[in-house]
Amino acid sequence: MIACVVPSIRPDRLKEFTKAWFPLFRKHDVHLVPVIDGDPPMVLGLTPTELLGDDADLIYNYSDCCRNLGFAFIAKHYPEAEYILTLDDDTLPINDPIQAHLDALNKRFPLSWMSTASDYVRGIPYGVRNEAECVVSHGVWQGVMDWDAPTQLINGNHQLEFYKGAIPKGVYFPLCGMNVMFKKKMLPYMYFAPMGPRAKLDRFGDIWLGINLKRTCDDNGWAIATGYSTIRHDRASNVFKNLQKEAKGLELNETYWQGNEDDDYFLTYNECRKRWYDVISNLKPNAESISTN
């Protein structure tokens, strides 16, 4: 079974999303878990307080990081889910991106070597070719690219070519939350960084998750693959609003990956990550699952 978390503030868009993805969801036994952002955000009729009690403050609203509420719902009500998929509500399938994710997650990858071609060329030791279990499949997209505001203002929206393979050990990458699938055991680590009005930051929730997720996978000898699953992204956000939202985060992002956590924000973020790990790891599943179809 696969559970799919989709954050949304647009009921009409969510309806279009559901219609477009329904054939693939039926094919792969995917259960949709929509998170309706608001004050408070809701997941299938449940508020953060109803789902997490005293830990409800781990859920931030008015940002795509509200999808954390969907992850908590899955941990509580869908313990049988083997894989968790998360998509944005303005994405459409190209061919079968779900199967492509599954194919990646059922592969093993080298971490200490990377191939310079689409297959293992001469010289790559056989002993490293099945080095690491893949636990996260980071998908890519066509259509509207995922730019930061300054880059979009300068370059517009030209199409890109994406790398396909495992992210080598010790190397970071820009995780985009619009098309990601991961194995169930990764739920305690999948905490999108707090964003939105309460955090006074935005548009780096997935990026900073990616930094910490990569460190976790490197420490455990796990692989993150990218480029296997492709969707279409149809809606560009407002570049000038993004410029305002990104202003502080752009500066922090330059050195956060290098270990600079001088800003007070990171005290809150690190505390939230630790609490999230404990909450999700110790959450007792509800014996009565809730239908999401």
pLDDT at 181: 99
Q: Would you say 172 and 260 are in contact if contact means Cβ atoms under 8 Å apart?
A: no
Burial annotation 84-118 (CB, 10 A radius, 16+ → b, else e): bbbbbbbbbbeeebbebbbebbebebbbebeeeee
Tens-place pLDDT, residues 156-193: 888 899 999 999 999 999 999 999 999 999 999 999 99
Q: What dotted CATH number matches 2-282? A: 3.90.550
37, pLDDT greater than 60: yes
Tens-place pLDDT, residues 84-143: 999 999 999 999 999 999 999 999 999 999 999 999 999 999 999 999 999 999 999 999
Q: At what angle do helices 205-220 and 239-256 cross, to 10 degrees?
A: 30
Tens-place pLDDT, residues 184-215: 999 999 999 999 999 999 999 999 999 999 99
pLDDT at 288: 57
pLDDT at 293: 47
pLDDT at 287: 53
Tell how strand 108-109 and strand 165-166 pair up: unpaired
Mean pLDDT for the chain?
95
